[in-house]
Amino acid sequence: MPLRPPSLRSRRHGAGGEPGQSPWLLTYSDMMTLLLCFFVLLFSFSEIDVQRFRTILAAFQASLGVLDGGRTLIETQPDMQGSAEWELRDVEFYRPELEAQLRAVYSRVRDLVQERGIGATMQVELNERGVTVRFADAVFFDLGKADLKPEALRTLDEVATLLKEVPNHIRIEGHTDNWPIRTERFPSNWELSTARATTVLRYLVEQHGLNPTRVSAAGYGEYRPLMPNDTDENRARNRRVDIVILRLDLGE
């Protein structure tokens, strides 16, 4: 009896196979499962730095004009909306962009000082800490007081507009000269310098909406003078409020 060639149906099904099943699918599915396990293990071993990623993301949102998004599928904290929780490793790539932002703020504050002709009472410098905007105490406050003068608000409003454009942390620092103060409200220069810094901070947060998680206040009394407290002129220079836009140390 002559042998018959296998039918098309037999070749298609294979030995014991199901109709329409290709043999390579089993190998492919095994490979995909192994790859999934591999990447899950890598993710579990990695260290996720959400704060670092959020800071860098905010920098690029500010520079590119990206607006905050709406509601997300995953519920997050208010200050984390629009950011993903993973570690961005190659942070050195972003340093030039962040440095350029800092220099741009420095240039704009310097232009403001020149345009307003207020170089005698307001200075700006770019240093290793970042950008320091320095105000003589008489710009904001009366002698021995910690209440903002109404005429100081215009200048502070203009500076606040620039501060909102950068993601950097901002520190407001109060300083006095070495003349002692002993009042019911301010038993020492510690209290006076701290109250002045806090007053400026609260104005920036409450009136201009600066994120309170990235601003802080400190009072140093007479212990960080710019000049020796040996003349009236030098003491006047030491009585000041500094608004410091701190550099982003992405390496931390």
Q: Which residue has the higher pLDDT, 34 or 227?
A: 227
At 83 the pLDDT is 37
Domain containing 208: what range? 94-246
How large is the average pLDDT for residues 104-114?
90
Provide mean pLDDT across the span 190-214. Answer: 97
CATH number at residue 122: 3.30.1330.60
Q: How confident is the model at residue 76 (pLDDT cuts 50, 70, 90)?
A: very low
* pLDDT at site 69: 44
Q: Which two tokens mark 128?
A: 């290793």
Q: What's residue 53's pLDDT?
A: 53
Q: Is residue 75 part of a domain?
A: no
Please tell me which of 30-34, 69-73, 98-102, 123-127 the model is most confident about, judged by mean pLDDT.
123-127
Residue 133 included in any domain: yes
Is 44 inside a domain boundary?
A: no
Q: Is the pTM value of this prediction over 0.85?
A: no
Residues 133, 79: Cα–Cα separation, whole Å: 26
Helix, strand, or coil here: 212? helix
- The neighbour count for residue 77, using CB atoms within 10 Å, is 8
Contact, 150 vs 168, CB < 8 A? no
CA angle 241, 242, 248 (to 5 degrees): 155
Q: Has residue 219 got a pLDDT over 60?
A: yes
> pLDDT tier at 195 (50, 70, 90 boundaries)?
very high
CA distance 1 to 220: 109
Is 1 a member of any domain? Answer: no
Q: How confident is the model at residue 55 (pLDDT cuts 50, 70, 90)?
A: low
Q: How is residue 92 written in tokens?
A: 């050195």
Domain tally for the chain? Answer: 1
Q: Is 233 within the bounds of a domain?
A: yes
In a domain, 87, yes or no: no
Average pLDDT value for the chain: 78
How many percent of the chain have pLDDT more than 70? 66
Over residues 58-85, the mean pLDDT reads 42
Residues 195/148, Cβ–Cβ less than 8 Å: no
Q: How far apart are CA 250 and CA 217, in angstroms?
A: 22
Is residue 137, in this structure, part of any structural domain at all?
Answer: yes
Q: Specify the higher pLDDT residue, 15 or 246.
A: 246
Whether 61 maps to a domain, the answer reads no
